[in-house]
Amino acid sequence: MKSYRLAASLGAAFVLTASVSTAALAQAPVCSAPVKVLAQPRDGLTLLEDSKDEFKKLSGASFQIDYLNENDRRAKSRADASTVGNYNVYYVDEANVALFASSGWIAPLTDYYPAEYDFADFDPGRQKVATYDGKVWFAPLTGGGDLMVYRKDVLEAAGIQPPKTLDELIADVPKLTNADKGIYGIALRGARGSGANVWRWMPFFKAYGGKWFDGDKPA
């Protein structure tokens, strides 16, 4: 029986798993062993815990999700996928899908979608994120964006209107900072690790005209 491993990125895709044979795709149940998932705590994944009974009824197997923090999950998934492969489904950052796909560690997910699963219903931009080398590798069930949240009382006390541009934001931050009182004009994620900060830095980089490539060469 040929086995496969799948990616769950920006959510989870429990369509088929490593213990599914190509001959069993049209049959039910389709799984013969528990599905092991390596992930980090995200709503799109933790909510799946409520569907264990339904999943077992439809597939014939249970599933187990092991949760790790972002850096540990990323390191362990790479190590596991490149060696023994104890897990059937990995939570993979979209930035790392190319590595997992080109290395042959995961299989294109849409190859195993049931006929009634309407992938086209996903947001077109997120469909693109899920695509590498012309193939779809995960179900983009959720996504993220940047949102500025501010304390009205702090801004009002400083006589500052909520900034509407990055230039205004940068100018206002020093005015709002009072280290002696433990108040800082802005708070952004500062975790170490692969990809841990790129999401916070990217909006500033792009807003000021930054680009990764100049034609087909690194900028």
Domain boundaries, the chain: 6-136, 152-218
Whether the predicted pLDDT of 115 surpasses 60: yes
Q: Which is it for strands 135-136 and 131-132: parallel, antiparallel or unpaired?
A: antiparallel
Say what the pLDDT of residue 219 is. 79
Average pLDDT, the chain: 81
CB-based contact 125:116 (threshold 8 Å): no
pLDDT tens digits, residue range 41-63? 887 778 888 888 988 888 888 88
Residues whose CB falls within 8 Å of the CB of residue 32, separated by 6 or more in sequence, listed in order: 19, 60, 61
Domain 6-136: CATH class, spelled out: alpha beta
For 15-73, the DSSP string reads S--TT--GGGTTSSS--SSPEEEEE---HHHHGGGGGHHHHHHHHS--EEEEE--HHHH
Mean pLDDT of 188-201: 74
What type of residue is 185?
G
pTM of the model: 0.71
Most trustworthy range by pLDDT among 11-15, 30-34, 111-115, 194-198? 111-115
Q: Residues 10-20: pLDDT tens digits?
A: 333 333 333 33
Confirm if 19 and 3 have CB atoms less than 8 A apart: yes
Asked if 46 and 145 count as a contact pair (C-beta separation under 8 A), the reply is no
